[in-house]
Amino acid sequence: MDDSDPDAYRPQPNHVWETSPNRFQALWLWDARHDIREAEAFSRALAARHGGDTGWSITKMMRVPGSINHKPKYDEPVVRLVSRNWRKTPKRPEPLPDIQRAEPEALAMNPHAHDRLAVLRKYRSKLDTSTRHLIRHNRVMAPDRSSRIFAMVAGLYEAGATLDEIASVIWSSPYFRDKYGDDQNALEAEVSRIIARVGTTR
């Protein structure tokens, strides 16, 4: 998860712990066994869609709740268990298609083409609750603006929104404005990067 929002993930993780201030790791307990390839595909999809760390490989190490994070910049915090739920999860994230990872292309978009709330109304039924709330916000109400921008772009893209619709929502979002101001080049770069990372087809 890293610095993404644990509450935004679908399906929700079973166990979440904070490894350092506002940085998290999590486990999902599926209700059936999966091979390594399937497990990595689920992890990759969760990370890509919700702004998590790219370390979704099965070989990655995780910190243990109750242990100490010895990185000096964090002042050695204890790894804290945030939530736990032993009920196994029947739902699975939709795996991403097996595509080549490439540098994002510079995509042309018009951030003035649509009204933010009109876009929300159009795709409301296809967006999760967390993303709908983020789009409605008129001021920054949560930390880590980057993960909030990621969640909105990824959610709208997977819902079928056009580039202009996505750009119009992000351009007027307080999470983007607070971080980048009136920088349209930053808007195009950020939206293009996120879409390339999600890499889903419609």
Q: Confirm whether 190 is domain-assigned.
A: yes
CATH number at residue 76: 3.30.70.1790
Q: Confirm whether 110 is domain-assigned.
A: no
Please tell me the pTM assigned to this model.
0.56
Q: What are phi and psi of 31, to 5 degrees?
A: -90, 10
Whether residues 16 and 78 fall in one domain: yes
pLDDT tens over the chain, length 202 residues: 787 888 889 899 999 999 988 889 999 999 999 888 888 888 888 888 887 776 566 666 788 899 998 877 778 889 999 999 999 999 998 877 654 444 455 578 999 999 999 999 999 999 988 899 999 999 998 777 888 999 999 999 999 999 999 999 999 999 999 999 989 989 998 999 888 887 643 4
Whether residues 131 and 64 fall in one domain: no
Whether residues 170 and 123 fall in one domain: yes
Which CA distances in Å does 24 have to 65, 66, 78?
Answer: 11, 14, 13
Q: In this structure, is the dihedral angle defined by the CA atoms of residues 53, 54, 57 and 59, taken in order, positive or negative?
A: negative
The total number of structural domains that make up the chain: 2
Q: Confirm whether 32 is domain-assigned.
A: yes
CA 186/CA 171 separation, integer angstroms? 10
Q: Confirm whether 189 is domain-assigned.
A: yes
Q: Confirm whether 102 is domain-assigned.
A: no
Q: Confirm whether 159 is domain-assigned.
A: yes
For residue 65, give its domain range. 6-83
